[in-house]
Amino acid sequence: MSRDDAKRAFDEAILERLVALNAVRAAEEARGLVRWLRPDFQNPSATATPIQSELPDERQEDEASSSRAMAAKPLPWPKDAVDQVRAVADALAASAVPLSLDDIAVRFTARGPWKKRLPQLLKMLIAVGRASATVDNRFRSS
């Protein structure tokens, strides 16, 4: 991989994470939750003092995971096996929460039985230490 390719891949990964974060924030704002950076300046008429919230538990179903999966435009499924492994690893790395097989499949488009290869590709990533599995058959980047 050339330096330019690596830079492009890095930029794409950052952009995917930003799009996912934007989808999460948009969903929160639609529910009425706004995260002010400077509440005294940005929302001086607020009556309640902002409360620091906890991050959701990883075992808890994250409402935003489906919106994040749908937020990014699905990528074409690579034809080369090495590129397929890389694409799945990148999808796991771009996600803040563990992904199921269906969550990963939604991120790609292709015809044919390509989804049958996902379990094998995930096993390969786990074997080389690039991914790990949770108890409920979800996968995350290591």
pLDDT for 23 equals 83
Q: How far from 66 is each of 9, 69, 95, CA to CA, in Å?
A: 23, 5, 11
Q: In the predicted model, what is the mean pLDDT of residues 43-67?
A: 57
**Alpha-helical regions (H) of the chain:** 3-30, 39-42, 63-71, 81-94, 101-106, 118-127
| pTM of the predicted model over 0.85 | no
Q: Tens digit of pLDDT for each residue in 3-49?
A: 888 889 899 989 988 988 888 888 777 777 777 777 777 777 766 55
Do the Cβ atoms of 116 and 77 come closer than 8 Å? no
Q: Give the separation between CA 98 and CA 69, rounded to whole angstroms.
A: 12
Q: 54 pLDDT band (50/70/90 cuts)?
A: low
What is the domain partition of the chain in residue ranges?
3-54+64-141
pLDDT over 80 (residue 133) = yes
